[in-house]
Chain A
Amino acid sequence: MAEITKLIHKYLRHDKKFPHVFCPGCGIGIFLGSLIRAVDSCGFKKDEVVLVTGIGCTGRLAVYVDFNTLHTTHGRALAFATGIKLVKPNLKVIVVMGDGDAIAIGGNHFIHAARRNVDLKAVVVNNSVYGMTGGQYSPTTPYGAKTTTSLISHIERPFRISELAIVCGASFVARSTVYHVKLLDDLLKTSFLKKGFSLVEVISHCPTQYGRMNKMGSPVDMLIWQKEHAFPVEKEKEMNEEELKDKFPIGVLADRDFPLFEEEYEKLRKKLKDYRKT
């Protein structure tokens, strides 16, 4: 067994009923491997990691890994995670969501979690579609794309998840694709070690629903699409409007320090110690 496979096996739940639910060619498996490598390289113990997920294809990955795992209601993963983190601040709380999960039904929780700056490690696996329910358009479905609820052409503009997190005040925001898996490993590790609310957006692909509807070819073709449409954020300044068209930057998009909710709350506890309402 290759070293890399051995490492992943160390973190899987072997008493769980495999096989998993993901389609052949899905990007979520690549991301899960990356997540495990990042946790391992951070040196986190299994007992101190809490993996919280929402609903949808991405939500299903929690059950396969040997951490404290919580598969919540649709869109609410960040709110559940907030409760866990505030009661046990020593735990490493990683929250994995899909695009519909985090930005549509969970949009309110997402923007406020980013603003509040509780030390949560959010990851949004963005495949531009509701995969589990059969391929309906999501808030990140591109204009003009075909889905089972936009049969001719999608008429809405997509959300840019990372940019949304930046303006909401997230401490750390980064984007990668599942094609750029080495970069993804590094970004996840950096975000896990960063203090404050962090977001890693993972551009992934859904060959079964989105790929088929939009004639994007095989999963490999979709990975090549990711390679061709992503560019390192450092090169953005050198690129002209024509080169930037339909492309998206990957890498660290924001890295800042804001007051941490938990630390501010600890100060509040001291200030309120002798407070009596008069």
Chain B
Amino acid sequence: MGKKNKKEVLLQGNEAIVEGALRAGVKFFAGYPITPATEISEILSARLPQIGGTFIQMEDEIGSLAAVIGASLAGAKAMTATSGPGFSLMQENIGFAIMAEVPCVIVDCMRAGPSTGLPTSPSQGDVMQARWGTHGDHPIIVLCPSTVYECFKLTIFAFNFSERFRVPVILLVDEVVAHMRENVCIDDEEIEIVNRVKPSVPPEWYIPYEDTPSGVPPMANFGDGYRYHVTGLTHDIRGFPTTRPDEVDPLIRRLFRKISQNFRDVQIGESFQTEDADLCVIAYGCVARSAKRACIEARERGIKAGLLKLNTLWPFMRTEVEKILARSKIVIVPEMNMGQISREVKRVNKGTSKVFTINKIDGTPITPEEIFLKIKEVY
């Protein structure tokens, strides 16, 4: 594709998320106002009706995700957007979407917590909540952009993964990236759009939660003639509640398997001058931007520094991180929390590297200087 076909526009992170969602085919949004995610609601309240879609402002975040799941069951690609306090309220229905296998996308524009915290200041405190926030054992896909273009791209990926695997997908954005403005090209026609697989059998043959090689059963929409039961209870392959261990075990294992056998497809990252790096920074979100700058400065001063940027936070990119740990003697994990991803890095470290952290929790972003000073200190 020639460059002349691509038009650059100045966009905010949240605006790019909207553009990505529309490009992915979103038709339904339900949400509740909360800083710093509100722009997504505001823009979609005007854009969705224009394309025959629906925007609704619900009474709270619990109801928002409930409506999103209902909309998805009726056949629409659906999403919601929130921040920490609302994300806490959504945990209940995230579990429902996992159990009932309903595709949907949840954007969490992270602000500093706990509780009401710092509503307009950035943080990366929800990394573990995104992983383990809802009760019960479950797999989850969590994506994290660090540029405005990635907001656009990863939103499309989030919808694609949700439709392909029939799972809720969480887009974890920090306030800096959500509110940052950059020049981006959003008419990227090369990104493929994925739609859920519909049943190819007649209704009387349809087994809604049947095991398949992919682990993902075809999904019939309500009203399409396939009458079936959807529940948050553990269920058999027909969707009917069961407590039989020989039916519960295969269900929960399949929920894990459908993602674990596709780790390569869902784990997205970017390496920057890591091939010969003695020291490597592992970062995500807005911190990855500062880290890149710090690595460039370190190289200028003769320190072989590299960066692994994580775009997929969960499932944790163990293979990629292990490669880094095997290659670089020193690894630094800067985060705007007290060490949520660094904990995972330390977990997979087999003692080949020293893992250092930078933890900033004062509501301000981590600067390139702070990372550079740490590099100098530990190198």
A and B associate in one complex: yes
Residues of A within 8 A of B (CB): 13, 15-17, 46-48, 50, 52, 62-63, 66-73, 76, 79-88, 90-91, 108-109, 111-112, 265, 268-269, 272-273, 275, 277
Q: Considering the chains assembled together, what is the distance between the CA atoms of A2 and B96 in angstroms?
A: 40
With CB as the reference atom, state the residue of chain B lying closest to A270.
B49
- Minimum CB–CB distance from A9 to chain B (whole Å) comes to 16
In the bound complex, do residue B240 and residue A16 qualify as a contact, i.e. CB atoms below 8 Å apart?
yes
Chain A residues near B233: list those with CB within 8 A.
Answer: 71
Q: Given B59, B62, B73, B240, which contacts A84 in the complex, CB threshold below 8 Å?
A: B73
In the bound complex, do residue B230 and residue A69 qualify as a contact, i.e. CB atoms below 8 Å apart?
yes
With CB as the reference atom, state the residue of chain A lying closest to B78.
A83
Q: Considering the chains assembled together, what is the distance between the CA atoms of A109 and B240 in angstroms?
A: 26
Q: Mark B52-80, 1 if CB is under 8 A from A, else 0.
A: 10101011101110111111111110100
Chain B interface mostly: mixed
User: What are 19 residue pairs bridging A and B, where the CB atoms are less than 8 Å apart in the complex?
Assistant: A13-B229, A15-B238, A63-B229, A63-B241, A68-B223, A69-B229, A79-B59, A80-B70, A81-B70, A82-B30, A83-B30, A85-B70, A87-B74, A88-B223, A108-B63, A112-B58, A268-B49, A269-B52, A273-B50
In the bound complex, do residue B63 and residue A109 qualify as a contact, i.e. CB atoms below 8 Å apart?
yes
- Apart from A71-B229, A84-B70: 4 A-B pairs, beta carbons within 8 A: A73-B96, A83-B67, A87-B75, A112-B63
Q: Given B28, B66, B240, which contacts A87 in the complex, CB threshold below 8 Å?
A: B28
Chain B residues near A16: list those with CB within 8 A.
Answer: 238, 240
Also in contact, A86 and B69, with CB within 8 A (given A17-B240, A71-B231, A73-B92) = no
B225 within 8 A of A: yes
Q: Considering the chains assembled together, what is the distance between the CA atoms of A48 and B59 in angstroms?
A: 27
Q: Given A76, A79, A265, which contacts B54 in the complex, CB threshold below 8 Å?
A: A265
Also in contact, A265 and B49, with CB within 8 A (given A72-B96, A76-B63, A86-B28) = yes
Q: Mark B287-318, 1 if CB is under 8 A from A, else 0.
A: 00000000000000000000000000000000
Also in contact, A83 and B240, with CB within 8 A (given A71-B233, A112-B63, A272-B49) = no
Q: Mark B196-240, 1 if CB is under 8 A from A, else 0.
A: 000000000000000000000000001101011111110000101
The size of the chain B interface, using a CB distance under 8 A, is 43
Chain A residues near B71: list those with CB within 8 A.
Answer: 83-84, 86-87
In the bound complex, do residue B66 and residue A70 qualify as a contact, i.e. CB atoms below 8 Å apart?
no
Chain B residues near A48: list those with CB within 8 A.
Answer: 223
- Minimum CB–CB distance from B115 to chain A (whole Å) comes to 20
Q: Considering the chains assembled together, what is the distance between the CA atoms of A269 and B230 in angstroms?
A: 31
Q: Considering the chains assembled together, what is the distance between the CA atoms of A17 and B232 in angstroms?
A: 17
Chain B residues near A76: list those with CB within 8 A.
Answer: 62-63, 66, 92-93
